[in-house]
Amino acid sequence: VYSQTLDHHAKHLKLVLDKLRTNQLYLKLEKSIFSLEEIMFIGYQVSKGGIKMDNGEEQAILEWPQPKDVHKLHFFLGLANYYRHFIKEYSKRIVSLTNLLMKEVKWESMKALRCSHSGVEEAAIAGKPVLHLSDFERSFKVQTYASS
């Protein structure tokens, strides 16, 4: 439960716990953690300053060896895709890598592979990107896009 202040946190937590109890859902207190200013959660470092990549995952992307086959490329793209929001121009950077996943494409252009692979690595750590939390005191516009 995220809150801006400790007072708000206590109120929000009570609301959540009351809802859980109303629906006969219970938490194990010994497995619960409350009132943290920063937490690692599903590969993200979450704090009032925003959301960052886990340093270990960032290091894994940096040290990932250049993929030598489709199977290893799938693993690399899976990891990179999970953090795509932190990688500037992610979709442009992975075009040549995703093209290698097509059956009729041969892995002849290792130079293109190296460039794309390195580009994703470099972008993942460039400037230590942080996703900012929404400020609900300000107005903002949400847009969606769907195609079939």
Whether residues 34 and 23 share a domain: the answer is yes
Number of folded domains that form the chain = 2
Q: Is the Cβ–Cβ distance between 131 and 51 less than 8 Å? A: yes
Q: Is the Cβ–Cβ distance between 78 and 97 less than 8 Å? A: no
In a domain, 21, yes or no: yes
Tokens matching residue 72:
């290893």
pTM of this prediction? 0.62
Per-residue confidence of the chain (148 residues) as pLDDT tens digits? 878 788 998 999 999 999 999 999 988 889 888 888 888 888 888 888 888 888 888 778 778 887 778 888 888 888 888 888 888 788 888 887 888 787 776 666 555 566 565 666 666 656 566 667 777 788 877 777 766 5
Q: Is the Cβ–Cβ distance between 125 and 102 less than 8 Å? A: no
Whether residues 40 and 98 share a domain: the answer is no
H runs (alpha helix) in the chain: 6-22, 55-63, 70-82, 90-93, 95-99, 110-125
